[in-house]
Amino acid sequence: MDHNHWLLLLIVVLFVLLVARVGKWLYRRRQAARRKIGGKKEERGAGTYDAIIVGAGPAGATSAYFLGCKGRKVLVVDKKKFPRPKPCGDAWCQPALGILEEMGVLSKMEADGVARRVTRGGFVSPSGIHCINTDGATYGSVTGCKTYAIKRRLADEYLVRAAAALVEVREGTTCFGASFGRGAWTVDLGSRTETSAVLIVCDGATSYLARSLGVLVEDDQPDSVCSHAYARAGSHAWRDADGVMLFNRALLPGYSALFRHADDDVYLGTYVLPGGAATSRSIAPFEADALRRHPYVVAALPEATLEWSERRVVAPIRTGGARVNLDAAPRCLLVGDAAGHVDPLTGEGIHTAMIAAKIAATCVDEMLVTSDFSRAAVEAYYLRCYDAFGFEFFSSSLAARIIYRCPLILDALAAVGASRGQTFLDFFGELMTGCRPKSDFLTAAPLLALRVALGVLYQVYVQKIRRTPPLQPVDIGQASVDKQAAAKNKRDKKDA
């Protein structure tokens, strides 16, 4: 593609986002009545609890906490006992931190020394351009945005204990199934059953319960994966930042990331996201290649001294919002990973899960107050979630596809960002962590968008015309991705 095609692409993207924002506004006005609860009264049934919540991660514990604050009788069950290991990126963004503060949890974690604020961060582009704060300015010093690194194994226990102060929590209790009848849910917990008016499902991306109930559309499988490992404190050499995203062409639109924790362990994770060629099988060979050849990774995690306190684990992710069958199970709400409340561009899902959990608590309380347990009342929950972050998922999905098709955008973004310092990094951080709409890149910062567009043209000149060598190998992990793509094409042809 020549520079005219790149410019046309950016114009089309701007037009699509503007039309989408107008469409979103019109849709919300037209559908406002559907977000109200209290139109149709039904018998509550004889459930012992107001709500049973299956899963005690951030989504389940947050839902339980806010229902408990409203005086509701709630039972939370989780098959694990806390603390328990949990594969995750461990990044707690500003919206999640606000809810943690509201729950009184963040101050406790800070006092106990298990939370570390990211003060220096940024990203490395596919060709090796660094946009990382190394001038001493603190991340958030311009806009006030914050991100913390907190291990899920620790953070989830604090959330569960906060919920347990208000509602009943049973750890180490497996849910084997649930059925609805006579106005109540009956939940099979093995040695006994419990009943409730409402069922809230927060059992993760694979969500056995939601699938067995038919709430998840049958072919709606997790579409992404992430890896999770910790480099032991003292064995790494990473000192110049607290959180860095590493973009590489083989993984796009996915990426790898490094996060420093309060105990000085360093998280290394890789996200394989929708829209690219990489798969879960790409992660191990990619990370092995990066540890050998990626300049930033080699410097941060030298193999000669590197030790792992936790070795790589790979977990599935469902992004962009799950397709839900509202008629399959009445009075049933999916929250968090089970509902696909994960951003398709970043793989971040903690803050959206907690936002959805607060919405779920409000909706369930309204159902109980008005005795409206109708399909419309359940739908109101999903519509309110869409209002909160659904359009962001659309914007993220569009951005991911553009990045995959045009990696030069990330190179241009890094070059422009490096010249603008902390002002850009705070703005970029807000876009990537849900503090502001991603469409603000075009609508709230048009001059920055113009500079990046011109930067793309410059990268076309530098990389495609002058053929200037990149600052890092651009084929890291590519051989594995190509091999798997070829094998997939062979299988598809055989099936056809």
Which residues make Cβ contacts (< 8 Å) with residue 93, sequence separation at least 6?
147, 348, 350, 351, 433, 434, 435
Q: What is the DSSP string of 87-146?
A: -S--EEEHHHHHHHHHTT-HHHHHHTT--EE--SEEEE-TT--EEE--SSPPTTTTT---
Q: What is the pLDDT of residue 30?
A: 47
Look at the alpha carbons of 134, 138, 140, 142 in this order and tell me if their dihedral is positive or negative: negative
With bands split at pLDDT 50, 70 and 90, how would you rate the model's confidence at 142?
Answer: confident
With bands split at pLDDT 50, 70 and 90, how would you rate the model's confidence at 33?
Answer: very low
Q: Is 80 exceeded by the pLDDT of residue 205?
A: yes
Q: Is 80 exceeded by the pLDDT of residue 435?
A: yes
**Residue of 308, 305, 300 lying closest to 257 (CA atoms):** 300
Between 196 and 43, the higher pLDDT residue: 196
| Mean pLDDT value across residues 148-155 | 96
Which residues make Cβ contacts (< 8 Å) with residue 301, sequence separation at least 6?
231, 236, 237, 238, 266, 268, 291
With bands split at pLDDT 50, 70 and 90, how would you rate the model's confidence at 122?
Answer: very high
Alpha helices in 222-349 (DSSP H): 283-293, 295-300
| Mean pLDDT value across residues 280-307 | 95
Structure tokens at 190: 């093995």
| Mean pLDDT value across residues 238-257 | 95
Please state, rounded to an integer, the average pLDDT across all residues of the chain: 90
Q: Is 90 exceeded by the pLDDT of residue 338?
A: yes
* Residues forming beta bridges with residue 77, ordered by sequence position: 54, 170
- Taking the chain, what is the end-to-end CA distance rounded to the nearest angstrom? 32
| Mean pLDDT value across residues 456-476 | 93
The total number of residues shown for the chain amounts to: 496
Task: List, in order of start, the domains of the chain with CATH numbers.
Answer: 49-396 (3.50.50.60)
Residue range 469-493, pLDDT digits in tens: 999 999 999 998 888 878 777 776 7
Task: Give the Å distances, CA to CA, from 327 to 177, 185, 364, 375.
Answer: 18, 15, 18, 7
With bands split at pLDDT 50, 70 and 90, how would you rate the model's confidence at 222?
Answer: confident
Q: Is 90 exceeded by the pLDDT of residue 27?
A: no
Q: What is the pLDDT of residue 144?
A: 87
* Cβ 122 vs Cβ 131: under 8 Å: yes
Which residues make Cβ contacts (< 8 Å) with residue 436, sequence separation at least 6?
430, 444
**Residue of 190, 315, 248, 257 lying closest to 479 (CA atoms):** 248
Percent of the chain with pLDDT over 90: 76
Rg of the chain over CA atoms, in angstroms?
A: 23
The edge-to-edge listing of strands for the beta sheet with 147-149 is 91-93, 147-149, 116-117
Residue range 173-194, pLDDT digits in tens: 999 999 999 889 999 999 899 9
Whole-model pTM: value is: 0.91
